[in-house]
Amino acid sequence: MDKPMQTETVTIAPFEAHHLDGALALSRAAGWAHRREDWKMIWSISEGRVALAGDRVVGTALMTPFSSTCSAINMIIVDESQRGQGLGRQLTTAVIELAGDRECRLTATSDGLPLYEKLGFVATHEILRHQGVVGRVDTPENVGWIAPDDALSAIKALDRTAFGADRGPLHDALAKEGPFAVVRNGDNIVAFAATRPFGIGEVVGPVVAENAEQARDLIAFILSSKEGRFVRIDIPEQSGLSSLLEGWGLPHDGGVVAMARGATGVPQTPEVRTFVLASQALG
């Protein structure tokens, strides 16, 4: 008589620094572009849970808090050998609990959409991924680089208005990763964009601006110094930037659905808005 199959016992534990290598292995197996440095940046401003089979990381999920009002649920991966057993739901539920009373935002693939809908998330809009090798882009004259120490408070204030929550720790982390470009009106910073290394190349975002023309100029300014390099940009579908990005060598290459859980209040029309995300994970 055949012996019954032995299944590994999987436990859920806090996501600690020594789990980063296991998380990186998971994301590589799933075809994600993230480097260890990319994982570490997000983990450094987040709380999380890992699923462990012995000492092996077989699942991850993070909750990135934005003050006491909002959070991003992200980096949810389950090892292929563990799928179909409810582990993704268990990890997602665990980090939703970490969020407490905060609104939760995430981005979902078509595979993940049914689970998140069951957990109370509602689709809000599409996120489009544009990436490729940058072509020739002319440099606008109304944009310049700025030292983060001189501008971080203004950048944080603009982002808070556009995003609807305080993401100060995120911008502190971004300032360590790469420079900021800004548009000024007199002495005042009225729009900004960040760029940093990511995956096999670089990423641009977030881009926060008063209008599409400022957003276009910020992106063009950054891309003008990256001809021949691989760059990724994630945009809300309503940004209206797709045709521009395609013309600069960054074709549309898939995307995800933005979702929210526990959102409160009436949608506002702020003076500035987000034209490019920091990342799919962070909004």
pLDDT in tens, 193-202: 999 999 999 9
- Is 203 inside a domain boundary? yes
- What's the whole-number mean pLDDT along residues 77-85? 90
Residue 85 maps to which CATH number?
Answer: 3.40.630.30
* Residue 68 and residue 169 in one domain: no
Banded pLDDT at 84 (limits 50, 70, 90): confident
Mean pLDDT, rounded, of the chain: 93
* Residue 81 and residue 169 in one domain: no
- Is 109 inside a domain boundary? no
* Residue 138 and residue 248 in one domain: yes
* Residue 260 and residue 138 in one domain: yes
Q: What is the pLDDT of residues 223-248, one digit of tens each?
A: 999 999 999 999 999 999 999 999 99
Half-sphere exposure of 2 (CA within 13 A, CB side): 3
* Residue 166 and residue 240 in one domain: yes
Angle at 255 between CA 156 and CA 82, to 5 degrees: 100
More confident call, 96 vs 267: 96
Residue 190 has pLDDT above 90, yes or no: yes
Q: What is the pTM of this model?
A: 0.93
Determine the pLDDT at residue 5.
37
Q: Are 225 and 151 in contact (CB under 8 A)?
A: no
* Residue 152 and residue 271 in one domain: yes
* Residue 153 and residue 272 in one domain: yes
Determine the pLDDT at residue 18.
98
Residue 237 maps to which CATH number?
Answer: 3.40.630.90
Q: What is the pLDDT of residues 89-123, one digit of tens each?
A: 999 999 999 999 999 999 999 889 999 999 999 99
Determine the pLDDT at residue 151.
86
* Residue 252 and residue 172 in one domain: yes
* Residue 74 and residue 150 in one domain: no
Buried b (16+ CB within 10 A) or exposed e, 61-73: bbbbbbeeebbbb
Instruction: Measure the CA–CA gap between 251 and 242, rounded to whole angstroms.
Output: 8
* Residue 34 and residue 155 in one domain: no
Token pair of 93 as six digits = 């539920």
Q: What percent of the chain has pLDDT over 90?
A: 88
- Is 242 inside a domain boundary? yes
* Residue 141 and residue 247 in one domain: yes
- Is 112 inside a domain boundary? no
- Is 110 inside a domain boundary? no
Domain range spanning residue 93?
10-101
Token pair of 239 as six digits = 């940004």
Give the SS3 label for residue 227: coil
Strand partners, 145: 181
Banded pLDDT at 28 (limits 50, 70, 90): very high
Token pair of 68 as six digits = 């006491």
Token pair of 252 as six digits = 């549309």
Q: Are 205 and 233 in contact (CB under 8 A)?
A: yes
Q: Please, which residues have CB within 8 angstroms of residue 172's CB and are 6 or more apart in sequence?
A: 152
Instruction: Measure the CA–CA gap between 272 and 221, rounded to whole angstroms.
Output: 19
Q: What is the pLDDT of residues 51-63, one digit of tens each?
A: 999 999 999 999 9
Query: What is the pairing mode between strands 143-146 and 273-276?
Result: unpaired
- Is 75 inside a domain boundary? yes
Q: What is the pLDDT of residues 115-173, one digit of tens each?
A: 999 999 999 999 999 999 999 999 999 999 997 677 899 999 999 999 999 999 999 99
Using the 3D structure, point to which of 101, 116, 142 is the last residue of a domain: 101
Angle at 86 between CA 83 and CA 88, to 5 degrees: 70
Banded pLDDT at 4 (limits 50, 70, 90): very low
Q: What percent of the chain has pLDDT over 70?
A: 95
Q: Are 209 and 158 in contact (CB under 8 A)?
A: no
- Is 55 inside a domain boundary? yes
